[in-house]
Structure formats: C-alpha cells, structure tokens
C-alpha cells in the first residue's frame, strides 16, 4: 500500500485542530451518534447533550440516572434511542433500560432547562433474557413506528426487540451467534442490517467469526461467512450494504455469499468507517505509538487524506463532514474539497489519468468529465501524441463542440485521426450534415473503399440514421461512388434519390423500371410522377405497363368486393400522370386507350375523354421518333380544309395522313359512345369538344354535337359554310320535321341562304319551296322578298308556287266574303230586333206557364224573350228568365274569360310563336274583342247598364 499516491482532497474545518467539545459536557464521553443535523453525545453521568453544526452546545438533558452507554439517532423521525443504566427496582432485575425520546416534543423542566418527551422505556433484561454485558447496539426503522433493535452481548447472543415501543407492542427473540465459552472471544463486536430486496439480513461479528442471519425465516437462519472477526469499533457498513471489518493485517469486505475483496492496510484498526465512497481508518502504528487517520479512495487506489491524530474515542459523519472526537474532549472536523479544487491540484501535477478516474468514480457531471478529458487531450496534443490525444477527444463526444477537435486535426493534417473522430461521431448519432460530408470526403480522398463500405453498408448505419442520408448520397454521387449512393438511398427508403442516380447518372432505365415495380403502389406513383418524363422518353411501352398496373391493380377484385366504385376511387387516376407525357402525345394516347378499354366507370372518365378528344382531333400531333430519325426535321402535318370539308394533307406524308384519319375516326366514335341516349349530358366537356372540332376543322364531330344538343341552326350553318347543298337539304329534311321533334323554321333559314347565295340554285329552291308550301311555313310575300335578293333566279322558279298560293288565297277570300255577309245579315237582324224592343210594344199571348205548363193566372211575370211564368214559379228571382239565363251567363262568362286572357301576355305570345300563321292568332284576338281600343269607365258602365236593363221586363 505504500505505492498508493497521497493527495490532500480533504481539509480541516472549524478552525483546524483547535475545536473543543463544549464545557457544558462535563462527564466522560461514553457514546455518540449523529443524524438529522445534530450531534448527540452521552456521558457517564447519564446526561445526553445535543450539538449544532459548529459543535456548539444546544441543550442537554438527563437521559439515565447512572450512565448512558449507547445512542442512535433515527433518520425517518426525529427520535433518539438510548441504552443506559438506571436505578434497579429490585436486586434480581437489572437497571439497564432502553429509552426512546421524541426530540420534537420538549417538556419544561424547572425554569431554565428543557428535556425531550420520553415516549417509551423498556427493560432490556428479563427472566427469559438473562443479563450480560452489552457490546454492540443497532436500530433499524422498518416501517415507522415499527423498530427492529439488535443488542449484541458478550456471551455470543443478540437480543432482538421488534415493535412499537411507545405503545408497548413488541416481540422479543434471541439469536445465538457463538457458543464459545472463551472469555472475550464470543462477544458480539459489530452488527449490520442489510435489505436485499424484500429480504432482511443481519450481519453479526465476533472476534472469531462473521455470521449472517436471514430475518424473514422463523426462527432466523444463521449462515457462517468467515471464521475470522474483529474487535469493537472495527466494523462498518458501506453504501452498497457491504460489511467491512478491520484487522491488523487488512480490511475485509463481505457480501451475503461470503468474503469479497480484501485490502492490505497494515496496523491496528482502532476505528473503521465509510463516507461517500471513501474508507475511513484510524490506524495505530505499534512502532511509534502514533495514530494515523487515513481516507482511502479504493476505486482509484489513492489516499485522499492522511493525518496524525491523538487518541480517538468516537468517529462520526454529519453535515457532509467527518467528526473525530478525541479522548481529551478535543474534536477534529474534516470536510471534502470541491471537485474543482481537487482537479486543479491534479492538473498542476499533470496527473490527468488520476483526474479522469476521479471524476468518473465520483459520478461527476458528464460535462465536467468531458472537460477533464479535453484538457488531457490538449496536453497530449501539445506533446504531439496525436493518437492518444484523439483517444481522449473521442470520449468527449456529446459534450465538446466537434469543431474544436476537427480544427486541430485539420491544421495538423492528421486525416487518419480525423477520420477516426468522425466515425465515432457518427457512431453516436451526433454528426451533422457537414460532418458526414467531411467524413465521406476523407474516405474518398484516402480512396479507402473498404472503410467506405463499412460506413455505408453497416447493418446499423442507415437503419438508425447515424448520418445524414441525403448528405451521404450527395457526396458519394459527386465522387462517382454511385453504387454506394444507391445503397444508402435504397436502405433509407429514399426512392427518389435511387432513381435519380439510376436515370440521370447511369442511364439504367430497365433497372429503374424494375425498381419502381417493386415499390408499394403509393411510393411507385410518386416516383413515376417525378421521373416519368425520362422513362417515357426511353422506355415508353414498359412505363405504360407500370402505369396500367398502378391505375388498374386488382380492378377485378374490387368489382367483386364492391359495386359502388369505392375501391376504384382509391387507386391513382391516369389524370395524375398526364404531365409526364408532355412531349409524347402518342404514348399518352396509347396509355389512355388501354385504360379506357379496361376501366369503364373511372371517376375521372370526363377528364380522360377530354384528353383523348384533344389527341384524336389534333392536326399537329408531334412524333418525336420521326424527328429523331430525321436529325430533328419536323414533319408536322400541314393541314388545310378542302371545299367539301375533307382534310387535305401533303402527299409525301401518307403514313401521317393515314394516322390522322384513324385518329379522327376514333374521335368521332368517342363523341358518340360517350354520350349514350339515356344521359342528358355526355361523359366529356361539350364546350371543349366543340372548340376542338372548330379548331381542327372536324366537321363530322361538329355536326354530331350540334345535332345532339338540338342546335339545328348551327348544323345547317356548317353545311352553308362549305356550300354543301345536297347535304344541307338532306339535313333540313331530317331536322325540319316538326312531327319528329324538328324545327320547321330551318326551311326559312335555308330559303334565306339561297336568296342571298348569288348563284343559280333553281333546283334547290324549288325543292325547298315544296316543303315550305307543304307545311305553310312562310307567307308568299316573304318568300318573294327573300328570293328577290338573288339576281340569278328567274320568275319561273316560283311561278307555279305563286299560282297555287294565289288560287288558295282566292278560295280563302271567297270563303271569308261569304262568312262576312252571313255575319252582317245576322248583325242587322239583331239590331232590328233591339230597335223593335226599344220602340214598339210587345204583346204577350202565352196562356200557359213556361215552368209548370199550367194555365197562366195572375200574378204573372212576362219577359221580353217571350217567356211567361207564374210569380210563384219564379220564387225570389224575378229579374231574369230562368230559360234564357244560363245561355246569357255562359256568354258573359266567356267574355270575362277573354278579357282575363288578354292580360296574360305570355300565353298570347306563346300562341303567336307556336302557330304557323301568327297573324291569324292576332286577328282572332281582335275578332273576339279582346284587343281593342280602351274606353273610359263611364261609357263602359252606361253600356252595361243599358244591356242589363233591356234584358228584363
């Protein structure tokens, strides 16, 4: 042990060695204890005194009448347990008592002193437990207020008292340690409790043995650990609940299974203790008779403090200090220096390894440990011991800024050491993007492919993200380590980087397509959107197959599982991938055709049909393959519209012309198939379809759309634009029949067209006039005015038509003349009758009542209509004739209805619009008197009164 270094890690407190026990403690000190910020001292006069932090007297009290032998302060409660001698009750009973004092409850005693409340007194020795000399004493607080008290005796027995002493609820039992009868060899010199999980163990030491009792067994089971022992005051317990005993040759440690480590410290161990991981020993040197107090740091194998002391009577630990009480009532208080002071002491001596061990064993703050390692590393670096310096710097990772180390080794051009540091930085997951970049650059600069493989392809490298994935990929890619970059991207699931390298750097398109096929559908969809343009350019067919799988995967299963299209809506839509075909319309057309052939009820079918129509009807559809073969020469179609509406193409591009015609046929088929008869609106955008047909001069599509939308005038306008007279007349025949839902006014538009044509079209005009005359669509005067604008038409064209119309008009005029004459005669007869009624008398000659047909007698009522009635047959209604009143009322009701209808303008105009001859409707309204010049109210009222008065008698 003489090889152990000595340091002054402790210093004397409270004025060095001049500290004294207060004079208030006059008796001989027999026992002492500490706890809860107090120092308790018992004397041979039975007094117990309490000292504060500065070893100043606090208060004292008479605990026992004769002598205080043992004391122990409890930790969980402010209780003091003492053993001492009191007065004997009888000669047969011992005066040895155990007392428990509650230091929180003070009782006044006299005028100047106070004493704590004694809550329990217990006689130690009874008939079952014979008296013997007490050699050791220990209290364990199991669960307050339950105490377990062990009292060691000089006869090899241990008296145990368990329970609540204050309430006198206790049990006693005895443990036999050593049955040896040799004097002084069987006394219990030391005790120690140990809690091992739920098990409670008790160490017992005699001069010749070390025993262990298992207290959970009933009765407790004894186990002999060793056949050597020690004397009083040479027993202690470590903070790991190890039993420590001191013998002249060494200090021994014991676990529950037997003897543990042994430390060969020579000299008689007068006192043994444990303080914060340090072993405390008061050793007597037999050669010079001096006592030495040593503090051992067993982990670091150094003596933290050494001091020659006087005769020590008690050794205590309290307030973070070690208190030694001497036999001459002097005291020594020793405290540990702070960590910074200890480290400064070691740094001045360049004892960095000792400093590192010190901070590690004392569980110092990690940052403090790192600071010691940094200083050691700086020391080694200054000595140019770069390898050892780096070994220290590596231990500082996580606390020391990496740039501090990196800068040092960059300046020293120690790339190997720097690589080692960066590797450890990544291993601990503390590397930034810049650190990853630097490490990979180190590998590539050293051309160390093996280490690069280990770093990149280690099993836990990418999985735990010990480096920044994107940085690693970028650096490896820049250094042309494409395989490594691809490995990292694939392992980390960065599919976009993997494909970027495959496609942009290596041009391995087949491998890229195979990789995309192996991905999950959602991931595959994202990657295809990003890199689809490159794939379509080089591998169009394979890319389209992948897109078909993405958009139609398990489509049959979905149809079997559900019929509402819910699963289908979860699949990617072809519309999502339109942007990748931006320069490849032919491939886009193939993809959409395949999709529509397989999927008939896609949620995006409107958008798909719109796109297909644009591709089908486009004139200038690009063909990149042709452009590439012909060194970039553009063979776009130069289209023009022929007079008959057909598409004309340059003869040198026959294949392109054929493809264009095929596409237009597909377009027309799509227009028709996507607008079933049972749907009001088509499965495409009608407005867009019309615009596409207009832009690309696709007449067939326009005609179909206009006709489907019942825009008949636009249909014939298409024929008029190309001067297709045959088609125009045929169209009017089909669309101008009102019986089939057509529009007869188309013939009028057609006649107007021929009237403004400016060329001879006699044949066509005659045919048109046939249908106009058949359906009586236009009056002859309008026909004459319309055709008169065409100077190329002669009168012979309409001669027969005019002759027939004149003949019809003559017949109508004759019929109207006869009707007028009849109405005039009737009117004259009515006027004559009215005049006769007004001026001449009426002779009533009826002899019978019109109502009852009996003979007419008075009182009777005669009406101007020549009907006579008994007054009793009329009842209360004497103002109108019962026979003529219904007819009169029906006429008046009709008149009122006509007057009411005259106010309904919508009905009037609707009749005018729907009638073949609107003038006849207006004339009918005039004839009924509905439309007439408005008269003032007084005239109308007078006329009504006159009519009313003339109707009765």
Largest Cα–Cα separation, the chain? 185
Q: Which two tokens stand for residue 427?
A: 């291993």
- How sure is the predictor about 458, in pLDDT bands with cuts at 50, 70 and 90? low
d(CA 377, CA 383): 10
Which of 225-234, 593-602, 677-686 is most confident? 225-234
DSSP code per residue over 217-286: SSSPEEEEEES----TT-EEE-TTS-EEEE-SS-EEEEETTEEEEEE---SEEEEEEEETTEEEEEEE-T
pLDDT of residue 105: 86
Say how many C-beta atoms besides its own lie within 10 A of residue 584's C-beta. Answer: 21
Q: Which of 134, 182, 187 is nearest to 156 (CA)?
A: 187
d(CA 690, CA 695): 9
d(CA 642, CA 233): 126
Handedness of CA 371, 373, 376, 377 (dihedral sign): negative
Can you point out the beta strands (E) in 110-234?
113-123, 134-143, 146-153, 157-164, 169-176, 190-196, 199-206, 209-214, 221-226
Helix 605-617 × helix 585-598 angle, to 10°: 140
| Residues sharing a CB contact under 8 Å with residue 542, sequence separation 6 or more, in sequence order | 510, 513, 535
| Percent of the residues in the chain that have a pLDDT greater than 90, as a whole number | 16
- The verdict on pTM exceeding 0.75 is no
| Residues sharing a CB contact under 8 Å with residue 165, sequence separation 6 or more, in sequence order | 98, 100, 119, 120, 122, 145, 147
Handedness of CA 356, 359, 363, 369 (dihedral sign): negative
Q: Region 314-320: what's the mean pLDDT?
A: 91
Phi, psi dihedrals of residue 269, rounded to the nearest 5°:
-90, 100
Say how many C-beta atoms besides its own lie within 10 A of residue 258's C-beta. Answer: 12
d(CA 333, CA 293): 12
DSSP code per residue over 860-886: EEE-TTS-EEEHHHHTT--SS-TTTHH
3-state secondary structure of 706: helix
pLDDT of residue 255: 93
> Is residue 939 packed enough to be buried (19+ CB in 10 Å), middle (13-18) or exposed (0-12)?
exposed
d(CA 9, CA 342): 6
pLDDT of residue 555: 52
Q: Which of 451, 505, 446, 458 is nearest to 478 (CA)?
A: 505
Q: Which two tokens stand for residue 194?
A: 């140990």
Q: What is the DSSP letter of 856?
A: P
Handedness of CA 205, 208, 210, 213 (dihedral sign): negative
d(CA 684, CA 671): 8
Half-sphere exposure of 390 (CA within 13 A, CB side): 22
- Token pair 């994202």 is found at 526
> Is residue 329 packed enough to be buried (19+ CB in 10 Å), middle (13-18) or exposed (0-12)?
middle
**Continuous H helices in 644-744:** 654-673, 686-695, 699-708, 712-722, 725-735
Q: Region 548-571: what's the mean pLDDT?
A: 59
d(CA 61, CA 113): 8
Q: Which of 8, 5, 10, 4 is nearest to 265 (CA)?
A: 4
Q: What is the DSSP letter of 652?
A: G
3-state secondary structure of 309: strand
d(CA 909, CA 929): 17
d(CA 436, CA 46): 75
d(CA 386, CA 400): 17
Q: What are the pLDDT digits (tens) for 900-920?
A: 776 677 777 777 777 766 777
Which has more pLDDT, 608 or 484?
608
Which has more pLDDT, 28 or 761?
28
Say how many C-beta atoms besides its own lie within 10 A of residue 794's C-beta. Answer: 10
User: What are the CA-CA distances from residue 636 to residues 368, 664, 671 (Å)?
Assistant: 78, 16, 25
What's the chain's Rg over C-alpha atoms? 63
User: What are the CA-CA distances from residue 9 to residues 17, 325, 342 (Å)?
Assistant: 17, 21, 6
Say how many C-beta atoms besides its own lie within 10 A of residue 149's C-beta. Answer: 23
pLDDT at 937 over 50: no
d(CA 22, CA 684): 108
Query: Which helix H or strand E contains 105, and what residues bound it?
Result: strand 96-109
pLDDT at 398 over 80: yes
pLDDT at 812 over 50: yes
Q: Which two tokens stand for residue 869?
A: 């009635």
pLDDT of residue 953: 26
d(CA 189, CA 532): 89
705 neighbors 693 (Cβ within 8 angstroms): yes
> Angle at the Cα of 450 (from 449 to 452), degrees rounded to 5?
60
pLDDT of residue 839: 85
Checking DSSP bridges between strand 209-214 and strand 221-226, what pairing results, if any? antiparallel
pLDDT of residue 443: 76
d(CA 301, CA 298): 5
367 neighbors 374 (Cβ within 8 angstroms): no
Q: Region 600-607: what's the mean pLDDT?
A: 79
- How sure is the predictor about 352, in pLDDT bands with cuts at 50, 70 and 90? confident
pLDDT of residue 245: 94
d(CA 345, CA 302): 14
Which of 252-256, 345-349, 761-765, 931-935 is most confident? 252-256
Q: Which of 108-117, 400-409, 792-801 has the lowest mean pLDDT?
A: 108-117
Half-sphere exposure of 64 (CA within 13 A, CB side): 31
3-state secondary structure of 157: strand
3-state secondary structure of 200: strand
Q: What are the pLDDT digits (tens) for 870-892?
A: 888 887 777 788 888 888 888 88
For 886-917, give the secondary structure using H, E and C: HHHHHHHHHHHHHHHHHCCHHHHHHHHHHCCC
358 neighbors 300 (Cβ within 8 angstroms): yes
Q: Is the peptide bond before 219 cis (omega within 30 degrees of 0)?
A: yes
The ranges assigned to domains in the chain are 338-429, 432-492
d(CA 190, CA 154): 11
d(CA 909, CA 925): 12
pLDDT at 629 over 50: no
85 neighbors 65 (Cβ within 8 angstroms): yes
Q: What is the DSSP letter of 85?
A: E
d(CA 694, CA 696): 6
Phi, psi dihedrals of residue 606, rounded to the nearest 5°:
-65, -50
- How sure is the predictor about 569, in pLDDT bands with cuts at 50, 70 and 90? low
DSSP code per residue over 816-855: HHHHHHHHHHHHHHHHHHHHHHHHS-------B-TTT-SB
Q: Which of 1.25.40, 3.40.50, 1.10.287, 1.20.58 is the CATH number of 338-429?
A: 1.25.40
Q: Region 401-426: what's the mean pLDDT?
A: 79
Q: What are the pLDDT digits (tens) for 660-672?
A: 788 888 878 877 7
Q: Which of 618, 714, 616, 708 is nearest to 670 (CA)?
A: 616
pLDDT of residue 111: 43
Q: Is the peptide bond before 859 cis (omega within 30 degrees of 0)?
A: yes
Residues in the chain: 953
Q: Region 213-236: what's the mean pLDDT?
A: 89
């Amino acid at each position: 042990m003489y090889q152990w270094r000595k340091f002054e890690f402790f210093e004397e407190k409270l004025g060095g060695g001049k500290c004294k026990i207060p004079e208030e403690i006059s008796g001989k000190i027999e026992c002492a204890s500490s706890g809860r910020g107090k120092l308790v001292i018992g004397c041979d006069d039975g007094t117990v005194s309490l000292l504060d932090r500065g070893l100043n007297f606090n208060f004292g009290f008479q605990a026992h009448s004769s002598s205080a032998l043992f004391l122990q302060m409890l930790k969980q409660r402010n209780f003091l347990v003492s053993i001492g001698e009191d007065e004997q009750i009888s000669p047969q009973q011992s005066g040895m008592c155990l007392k428990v004092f509650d230091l929180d409850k003070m009782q006044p005693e006299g005028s100047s002193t106070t004493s704590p409340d004694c809550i329990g007194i217990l006689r130690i020795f009874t008939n079952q437990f014979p008296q013997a000399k007490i050699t050791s004493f220990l209290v364990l607080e199991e669960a307050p207020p339950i105490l377990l008290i062990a009292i060691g005796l000089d006869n090899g027995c241990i008296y145990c008292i368990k329970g609540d002493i204050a309430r006198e609820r206790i049990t006693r039992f005895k443990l036999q340690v050593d049955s040896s009868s040799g004097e002084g060899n069987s006394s219990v010199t030391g005790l120690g409790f140990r809690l091992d999980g739920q098990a409670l163990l008790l160490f017992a030491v005699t001069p010749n043995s070390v025993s262990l009792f298992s207290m959970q067994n009933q009765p407790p089971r004894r186990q002999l650990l060793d056949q050597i022992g020690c004397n009083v005051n040479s027993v202690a317990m470590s903070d790991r609940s190890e039993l420590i005993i001191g013998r002249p040759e060494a200090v021994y440690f014991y676990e529950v299974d037997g003897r543990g480590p042994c430390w060969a410290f020579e000299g008689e161990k007068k006192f043994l203790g444990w303080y914060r991981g340090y072993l405390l020993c008061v050793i007597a040197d037999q050669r010079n008779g001096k006592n030495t107090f040593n503090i051992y740091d067993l982990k670091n194998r150094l003596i933290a403090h050494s001091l020659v002391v006087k005769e020590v009577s008690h050794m205590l630990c309290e307030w973070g200090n070690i208190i030694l009480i001497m036999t001459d009532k002097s005291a020594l208080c020793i405290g540990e220096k702070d960590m910074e002071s200890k480290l400064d002491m070691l740094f001045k001596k360049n004892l960095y390894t000792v400093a590192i061990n010190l901070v590690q064993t004392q569980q110092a703050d990690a940052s403090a440990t790192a600071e010691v390692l940094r200083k050691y590393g700086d020391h080694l670096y200054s000595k140019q011991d770069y390898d050892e310096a780096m070994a220290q710097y590596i231990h500082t990772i996580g606390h020391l800024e990496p740039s501090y180390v990196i800068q040092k080794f960059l300046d020293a051009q120690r790339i190997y050491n720097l690589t080692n540091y960066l590797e450890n930085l990544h291993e601990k997951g503390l590397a930034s993007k810049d650190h990853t970049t630097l490490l990979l650059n180190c590998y590539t600069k050293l051309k160390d492919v093996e280490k690069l493989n280990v770093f990149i392809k280690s099993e836990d490298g990418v999985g735990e993200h010990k480096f920044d994935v994107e940085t690693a990929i970028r650096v490896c890619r820049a250094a042309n380590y494409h395989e490594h970059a691809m490995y990292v991207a694939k392992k980390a699931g960065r599919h976009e980087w993997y494909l970027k390298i495959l496609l942009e750097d290596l041009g391995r398109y087949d491998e890229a397509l195979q990789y995309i096929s192996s991905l999950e559908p959602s991931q595959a969809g994202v990657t295809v959107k990003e890199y689809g343009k490159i794939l379509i350019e080089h591998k169009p067919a394979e890319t389209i197959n992948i897109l078909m799988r993405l958009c139609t995967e398990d489509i049959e299963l979905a149809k079997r599982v559900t019929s509402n299209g819910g699963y289908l809506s979860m699949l990617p839509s072809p519309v999502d991938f339109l942007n990748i075909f931006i320069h490849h319309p032919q491939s886009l057309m193939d993809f959409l055709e395949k999709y529509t052939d397989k999927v008939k009820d896609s949620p995006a079918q409107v958008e798909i049909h719109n796109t297909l129509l644009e591709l089908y009807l486009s004139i200038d559809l690009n063909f990149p393959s042709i452009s590439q073969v012909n060194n970039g020469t553009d063979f776009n179609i130069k289209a023009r519209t022929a007079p008959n509406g057909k598409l004309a193409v340059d003869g040198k591009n026959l294949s392109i012309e054929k493809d264009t015609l095929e596409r237009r046929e597909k377009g027309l088929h799509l227009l028709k198939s996507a607008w079933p008869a049972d749907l009001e609106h088509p499965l495409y955008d009608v407005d867009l379809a019309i615009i596409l047909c207009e832009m690309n001069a696709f007449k067939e599509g326009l005609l179909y759309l206009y006709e489907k939308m019942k825009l008949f005038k636009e249909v014939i306008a298409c024929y008029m634009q190309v001067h297709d007279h045959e088609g125009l007349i045929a169209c009017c025949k089909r669309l101008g029949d009102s019986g089939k839902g057509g529009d007869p006014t188309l013939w009028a538009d057609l006649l107007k067209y021929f009237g403004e044509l400016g060329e001879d079209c006699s044949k066509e005009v005659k045919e048109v006039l046939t249908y106009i005359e058949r359906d009586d669509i236009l009056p002859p005067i309008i026909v004459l005015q319309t055709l008169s604008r065409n100077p190329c038409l002669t009168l012979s064209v309409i001669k027969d038509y005019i002759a027939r119309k004149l003949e019809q008009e003559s017949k109508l005029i004759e019929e109207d003349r006869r009707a007028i004459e009849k109405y005039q005669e009737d009117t004259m007869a009515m006027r004559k009758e009215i005049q006769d009624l007004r001026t001449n008398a009426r002779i009533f000659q009826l002899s019978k009542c019109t109502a009852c047909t009996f003979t007419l007698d008075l009182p009777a009522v005669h009406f101007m209509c020549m009907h006579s009635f008994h007054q009793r047959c009329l009842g209360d209604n004497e103002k109108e004739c019962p026979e003529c009143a219904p007819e009169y009322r029906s006429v008046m009701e009709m008149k009122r209805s006509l007057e009411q209808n005259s106010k309904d303008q919508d009905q009037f105009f609707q009749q005018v619009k729907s009638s073949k001859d609107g003038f006849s409707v207006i004339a009918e309204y005039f004839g009924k008197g509905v439309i007439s010049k408005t008269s003032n109210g007084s005239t109308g009222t007078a006329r009504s009164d006159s009519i009313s008065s003339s109707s009765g008698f």
